[in-house]
């Protein structure tokens, strides 16, 4: 399941789930499972045990993956969640554009 509409470092907003309405930057994408990790969204608690001398133990809060269908791209120009369209430029390259304001995302 490969979705190319969301890429690493894109600004996205969560459109469903417990963290609905939160914005964040995409940290990583798993195309095979169709999941993304968004900065500051879907925080999970992990209990870490020290594995060697000098390691820090304790309770760690880190981002967990959410389904890629639960996030929507946020346009930098119009600052709204938007669908992504594709346009072919004069030199033949295919770029992602905002459906609302036609802003180019692949600068």
- Which range has the top average pLDDT, 23-27, 82-86, 103-107? 23-27
pLDDT, tens digit (0-9, with 9 covering 90-100), for 15-57: 999 999 999 999 999 989 999 999 999 999 999 999 999 888 9
Query: What residue ranges do the domains of the chain occupy?
Result: 1-51+58-74, 80-107
> Which residues neighbour 50 within 8 Å (Cβ) at sequence distance 6 or greater?
56, 57
Say if domain 1-51+58-74 classifies as CATH 2.30.30.30.
yes
Question: 72 or 2, which is more confident?
Answer: 72
């Amino acid at each position: 399941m490969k979705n190319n509409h969301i890429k690493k470092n894109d600004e996205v907003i969560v459109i469903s789930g417990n963290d609905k309405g939160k914005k964040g930057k995409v940290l990583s994408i798993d195309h095979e499972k169709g999941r993304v990790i968004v900065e500051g969204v879907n925080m999970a608690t992990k209990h870490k045990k020290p594995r060697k001398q000098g390691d820090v133990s304790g309770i760690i809060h880190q981002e967990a993956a959410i389904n890629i269908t639960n996030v929507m791209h946020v346009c930098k120009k119009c600052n709204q969640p938007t669908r992504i369209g594709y346009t072919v430029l004069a030199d033949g390259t295919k770029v992602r554009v905002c459906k609302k304001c036609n802003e180019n995302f692949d600068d």
